[in-house]
Amino acid sequence: MMGNFFADHVRGNRFQHFPEAIQQGILLHRKIDTFTDNHEIVRISKRRLHERYGHYDGVIIDIFYDHFLAKNWSSYSQIPLAVFVKNVYQLLQKHFSILPKKTQELLPYMIQYDWLYNYQFEKGIDQVLQGMNRRTKGKSQMHLAIEDLQLLNTELENDFLTFFKDLKNYTSNELATLKKSL
């Protein structure tokens, strides 16, 4: 779980010092990113936003898909979202010293504002989009994307639900392969 969580903050092959399970998480995260980027449903979702946001469409779709995952959490897990999120935060805090620097910097804010839990709410997504827009100094126009989420909610959620079925199958197969290879 930890490797998958902070994989975006690890460059190249600079993960071989981590325990095997964390290495598996990092590699799985990278495979999931590749699978997602090449999935036709994700491409359809991105096209819905491309004219307005250009190359930021993928970042926005990632955020929207996180929203739909959190919103529909009980369909995928018997563990309530609040309990799962609390466990993730505790795990990351317990192993804070081995987290990449960028993850260490973000974690206090993530916990303070309970990002993972609040992804299920439009208000939580709006706050994330506002923050992303500030980080791009307004170039991304991501602060407007909440309007697109509201306008295209049914289509985007259906895209996510279809995609996520494929992702679950892909992830199960890839994780089994990774466990054998490391």
CB 53 within 8 A of CB 140: yes
CB 95 within 8 A of CB 103: no
Intra-chain end-to-end CA distance of the chain, in Å: 16
pLDDT tens digits, one per residue of 63-83? 999 999 999 999 999 999 999
Assigned token pair, 156: 């985007």
- Return the sign of the alpha-carbon dihedral for residues 123, 119, 109, 126: negative
Host domain of residue 114: 2-181
Within 34-151, strands assigned E span: none
Task: pLDDT tens for the chain, 182 residues: list them.
Answer: 898 889 888 988 888 889 888 999 999 999 999 999 999 999 999 999 999 999 999 999 999 999 999 999 999 999 999 999 999 999 999 999 999 999 999 999 999 999 999 999 999 999 999 999 999 999 999 999 999 999 999 999 999 999 999 999 999 998 888 777 76
CA distance 57 to 174: 26
- As a dihedral over the C-alpha atoms of residue 146, residue 147, residue 151, residue 157, rounded to 10 degrees, the angle is -10
Whole-prediction pTM value? Answer: 0.92
CA distance 79 to 171: 19
Using the structure block, give the residue that is written with the tokens 């892909």: 170
Q: Residue type at 86?
A: K
Q: What is the per-residue pLDDT for 117?
A: 97
- As a dihedral over the C-alpha atoms of residue 49, residue 54, residue 59, residue 62, rounded to 10 degrees, the angle is 30
CB 18 within 8 A of CB 42: no
The distance of Cα 121 from the centroid of its chain, to the nearest Å, equals 15
Q: How many domains would you assign to the chain? A: 1
